[in-house]
Structures are given as structure tokens and as C-alpha cells.
């Protein structure tokens, strides 16, 4: 149950509201100039320019990204706020938008443009109120979220050194405008990559007795694989195992020697994840042995599951209720998508919120990563305020 009577700051809320039109303009400018992971040079420059203009200490990360810090006039802990800033290789289909992407085949189709604009606005508001700010607020403008590399690179460059707690958010198209969610526990799944190679013995299609058919081995493996989810995973612990690609065989009358399979595994906790990884290895080895083939499994760990730490998530819930209204706070189901924010929470507590932006009246109904994706910009003021108030309340709470 969320606490109430938190020390949300009315002055902070007022500061955020003063910057709303600049925030929308900034977001639209980023939207018109989207940049792919590790190519966010213009975006990085724009952020640095704004931060310097308002007197916030900042440095450029390499090759892209920004790490900044607001130092309150009173001593206290350090809380980090993170926004991602990269776009996708998606062609924008919103032809009537005045700020439609001007970079062909690249689009802010996940809303990261709004995350950056909201965090910048929160930064302005916190800076304007730094006289009564107790501690420090680290600002992380992170590149390359879409390829799950940015968070690790920012951490390696000191983004969370000395940080006590971390908070992030994603604008969310399946959640209605005016609703915000920040669950205790699992929020996003882990997203791992799986490669399996089967090696048999090729030969003439008419003489199977002289061969070990990689087509049969691979097919058998694919057909049996779902038993890992159905028979080895508790019904209360969700998981997805998908083989998305299979490369096997060369010609209708040639028995295939090799098969390459690629897939993804999604889990909401690391115990289930490890169990599934081990089961895949066992299924591959035993299937190969059954037919006299060999198997090699390459399991690459991608993003961790995002598991919101309890006290942090309860704080975010309280901030949502105290800043807006009890009706704003909802419980959105965890998603099997991945989010590299999870890497920040490997060492420090924190949480990640979902800010609803679905509004049929404004046409913002399309899924993330779709060419028609757009957001209801009216929700950005709440997102910016949530960033600022979370940091404020975390630092205030640590005073007691």
C-alpha cells in the first residue's frame, strides 16, 4: 500500500509547468531529427547545450550520451534519473505531423524523444529549486537502449558512481493517458539470445542410412522445446522460448549436414531463467545424441529482468498519488519486452515507471516500434513532474 503525506514540492510542480511549451518543442525537434543507437551526436549536443545554459554541471559520454549532476545547497544522498535517447530503424508513417522524422528510415518509434525532453524539464525544475534540495540528483541521458548496450556503457563511464537509488520511466502506449504504473517486483522480462548448431552427416537424399539428417534433428528439437515451458516451468512463473530462425539444408535431394537455430528466451526472474537455460542445453544435447548428431549451444545473456525494488516502487507509488491523484496510479501487467534499465539496478535499488500515453481521440493508439506510433504529448508534464518529485521525495525521505 502506498504511503501518503509525502513531502512533494509545490514549488517544483510549478517550475515544471513553466517549462511545458519548451519541453514539447524540444521533444518535437528530437522527433524530427531521430538518431540510431551510438549515433546520437546531435541529440547529445542539444542536451549539453540546454544543461550548460541553465548552469547544470555536465559531461559528454563516449561516443554519445550525457551525465550531469544537480548539487543541492543542503547535504544528502544521491539519486539518479535516467532517460534514453535513441531512435529506431523504422520508417515514419505519420505523414501529417509537422515534426515528422526528416531522417529517412529512422524514427522515434518508441518515445525516447519524450523521455529525454521530460528529464531535461525535470532537471530545469530541480535546478531552480536547488536552494532547498537535500543532496544530489544525477542525470543520465542514455544512448543505445534499443540494442541493450547503452546502460552498460554509461555505468562503465561512472554514471552511477556514488548513487544511492535510481529511477527511470517509459512512456507506454498500451496504458491510457492519465494513468501511471510502478509495480513492486517484475516489470520487464529478461531478453536473451539463443543459438543452437546441430552437426550431422550429409549425403544423398536417397540414402539416409549413410547420413545423420540435421533437418530431422533440428525439427525434433523445435517440436520438443516448448515442453520446457509447459512441463518444467511453474504455471506461476511465466516464460517464453521462441525459435525465430532456422537455417538448414541446401537442396531437395541432399541430406543436410548442419542446422543453425536462433531464438530468444524471456523470463521475469533469474531462477527460472537459469533453469530454462540449463534445460535448453539438455534438450539440445539429448536430441542430438538420439539421432547420432552433435549439438553446440551458445546462450547469450541480454538484458536482466527489470525487478522494481519494493521500497523504491512504493515511494514512486506514493509520489504518483501525492503529486496527481489516487486514480492515476494503476497496476500495469509486466511486459515480456526487455529494457536495459535493469543493469542500473544490479548494484543499487531503484524502480521503473510506465506512463500511459494511449489516447484514441488523438490517434495515439499504435504499438511501440510501429511506423504510426505517436504519443499524447499532454502526459509529458506528469512524466516530467514524476521524475522531479521522485528525486525530491527520495532525498527528503532519507533525511529522516
Q: Which residues bind Ni ion (CB under 5 A)?
A: 110
Nearer to Ni ion, 321 or 354 (CB): 354
DSSP class per residue in 307-352 = EE-HHHHHHHHHHHHHHT-GGGEE-PPPBSS--GGGGGGGTS-EEE
Q: What angle do CA 177, 338, 69 make, to 5 degrees?
A: 75
Nearer to Ni ion, 260 or 372 (CB): 372
Phi and psi, residue 194, nearest 5°? -125, 130
SS3 helix, strand, coil % of the chain, rounded to 5? 40, 30, 35
Nearer to Ni ion, 110 or 357 (CB): 110
Nearer to Ni ion, 37 or 135 (CB): 37
Q: Minimum CB separation from Ni ion for residue 349, in Å?
A: 22
Nearest Cα residue to 400 out of 166, 97, 76: 76
CA atoms within 13 A on the CB side of 213: 15
Nearer to Ni ion, 129 or 342 (CB): 342
Cell numbers describing residue 194: 539463443
Q: How far is CA 368 from the centre of its chain?
A: 12
Q: Alpha-carbon distance 284 to 294, whole Å?
A: 9
Q: Minimum CB separation from Ni ion for residue 116, in Å?
A: 12
Q: Alpha-carbon distance 31 to 46, whole Å?
A: 13
Residues written for the chain: 400
Q: Minimum CB separation from Ni ion for residue 142, in Å?
A: 11
Nearer to Ni ion, 110 or 384 (CB): 110
Q: Minimum CB separation from Ni ion for residue 47, in Å?
A: 18
DSSP class per residue in 156-199 = HTTTTTT-SEEEEEEEEEEEETT-EE--SEEEE-EEEEEEEEEE
Residue with nearest beta carbon to Ni ion: 110
Q: Minimum CB separation from Ni ion for residue 298, in Å?
A: 26
Helix (H), strand (E) at residue 244? strand 239-248
Q: Alpha-carbon distance 86 to 112, whole Å?
A: 6
CB atoms within 10 A of CB 42: 15
Q: Minimum CB separation from Ni ion for residue 209, in Å?
A: 53
Q: Minimum CB separation from Ni ion for residue 92, in Å?
A: 16
Q: Minimum CB separation from Ni ion for residue 292, in Å?
A: 45
Helix (H), strand (E) at residue 243? strand 239-248
Q: Minimum CB separation from Ni ion for residue 88, in Å?
A: 9
Nearer to Ni ion, 23 or 110 (CB): 110
Nearer to Ni ion, 169 or 259 (CB): 169
Nearer to Ni ion, 276 or 386 (CB): 386
Nearer to Ni ion, 65 or 72 (CB): 65
Burial class (CB in 10 A: 0-12, 13-18, 19+), 267: buried
Helix (H), strand (E) at residue 280? helix 270-291
Q: Minimum CB separation from Ni ion for residue 146, in Å?
A: 7
Amino acid at each position: 500500500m502506498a504511503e501518503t503525506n509525502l513531502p512533494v514540492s509545490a514549488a517544483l510542480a510549478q517550475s515544471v509547468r513553466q517549462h511545458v511549451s519548451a519541453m514539447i518543442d524540444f521533444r518535437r525537434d528530437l522527433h524530427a531529427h531521430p538518431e540510431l543507437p551510438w549515433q546520437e551526436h546531435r541529440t547529445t549536443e542539444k542536451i549539453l547545450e540546454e544543461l550548460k545554459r541553465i548552469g547544470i554541471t555536465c559531461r559528454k559520454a563516449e561516443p554519445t550520451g550525457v551525465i550531469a549532476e544537480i548539487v543541492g545547497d543542503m547535504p544528502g544522498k544521491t539519486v539518479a534519473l535516467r532517460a534514453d535517447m535513441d531512435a529506431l530503424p523504422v520508417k515514419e508513417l505519420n505523414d501529417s505531423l509537422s515534426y515528422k522524422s526528416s531522417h529517412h528510415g529512422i524514427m522515434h518509434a518508441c518515445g525516447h524523444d519524450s523521455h529525454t525532453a521530460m528529464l531535461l524539464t525535470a532537471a530545469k525544475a530541480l535546478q531552480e529549486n536547488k536552494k532547498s534540495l537535500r543532496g544530489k540528483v544525477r542525470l543520465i541521458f542514455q544512448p543505445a537502449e534499443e540494442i541493450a548496450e547503452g546502460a552498460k556503457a554509461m555505468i562503465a563511464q561512472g554514471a552511477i558512481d556514488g548513487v544511492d537509488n535510481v529511477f527511470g520511466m517509459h512512456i507506454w502506449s498500451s496504458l491510457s493517458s492519465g494513468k501511471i504504473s510502478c509495480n513492486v517486483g517484475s516489470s520487464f522480462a529478461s531478453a536473451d539470445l539463443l543459438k543452437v548448431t546441430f552437426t550431422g552427416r550429409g549425403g544423398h537424399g536417397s540414402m539416409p542410412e549413410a547420413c545423420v539428417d540435421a533437418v530431422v534433428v533440428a525439427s525434433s528439437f523445435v517440436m520438443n522445446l516448448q515442453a520446457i515451458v509447459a512441463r518444467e516451468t511453474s504455471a506461476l512463473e511465466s516464460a517464453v522460448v521462441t525459435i525465430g530462425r532456422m537455417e538448414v539444408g541446401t537442396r531437395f535431394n541432399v541430406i543436410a549436414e548442419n542446422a543453425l537455430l536462433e531464438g530468444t528466451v524471456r523470463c521475469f526472474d533469474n531462477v527460472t531463467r537459469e533453469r530454462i537455460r540449463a534445460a535448453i542445453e539438455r534438450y539440445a544435447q539429448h536430441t542430438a545424441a538420439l539421432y547420432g548428431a552433435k549439438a553446440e549451444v551458445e546462450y547469450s545473456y541480454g538484458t536482466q529482468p527489470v525487478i522494481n525494488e519494493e521500497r523504491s516502487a512504493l515511494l514512486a507509488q506514493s509520489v504518483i498519488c501525492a503529486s496527481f491523484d489516487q486514480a492515476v496510479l494503476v497496476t500495469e501487467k509486466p511486459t515480456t519486452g526487455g529494457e536495459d534499465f535493469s543493469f542500473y539496478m544490479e548494484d543499487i535499488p531503484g524502480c521503473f515507471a510506465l506512463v500511459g500515453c494511449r489516447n484514441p481521440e488523438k490517434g495515439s493508439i499504435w504499438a511501440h516500434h510501429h511506423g504510426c506510433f505517436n504519443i499524447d504529448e499532454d502526459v509529458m508534464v506528469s512524466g516530467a513532474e514524476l521524475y522531479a518529485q521522485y528525486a525530491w521525495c527520495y532525498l527528503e525521505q532519507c533525511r529522516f
